[in-house]
Amino acid sequence: MNSRDFEAKIETVRKTRRYLLSLVEGLSLEALNAIPEGFSNNILWNLGHLVAAQQGICYLRAGRDMRVDQSYFEAYRPGSVPREPATEQTRARINALLFSTLDELEADINAGVFEHYEPLQTRYGVAISHIGDAVSFLLFHEGLHSGYIMALKRAVAGKA
């Protein structure tokens, strides 16, 4: 994949994340933390998870250090659930990381730091064998969680 392809895909992820933040703008912290019946997480967890999943799929699988600390990754990694209600500081941190980690990813791709990659078969049946596959998978993953966030927003409408 050439640098223009990477840039285009990362820009699509950026646009998706901007859309998601606009979608939840104005929701109260209570609504963002609410876990409706039938769900295992909340809106803020889903937003935080986008960053953690990006770090795992792009950095950890490539044997690179993540751009977030381990405690953040553990809180939002695949299979985790919210342990406590998020604060306004947590919300602000997630909002910032949604974009700063994409900037770092783009810079790291351009610097050629992803030379090695441990192949992975996702639970969705997608084979990922290099950073190009990983960035392509982010598009699918962001879309999946966009749907969850939209469903959660509808479910917590009374808590806005």
pLDDT over 70 percentage in the chain: 98
pLDDT of residue 159: 65
Long-range pairs for 19-25: beta carbons < 8 A, 24 or more residues apart: 19/146, 20/47, 20/146, 20/149, 21/47, 21/95, 21/98, 23/149, 23/150, 23/153, 24/149, 24/153
Q: Is the pLDDT of residue 160 over 60?
A: no
Q: Is the pLDDT of residue 65 over 70?
A: yes
pLDDT digits 0-9 by tens, 114-143: 999 999 999 999 999 999 999 999 999 999
Q: What is the residue range of 29's domain?
A: 3-159
Is residue 31 within 8 Å of residue 144, measured between CB atoms?
A: no
Count of domains observed in the chain? 1
Written as six digits, the tokens of 84 are: 């406590």
Report the CATH number at residue 31. Answer: 1.20.120.450
Task: Name residues whose C-beta falls within 8 Å of residue 92's C-beta, 6 or more positions apart in sequence.
Answer: none
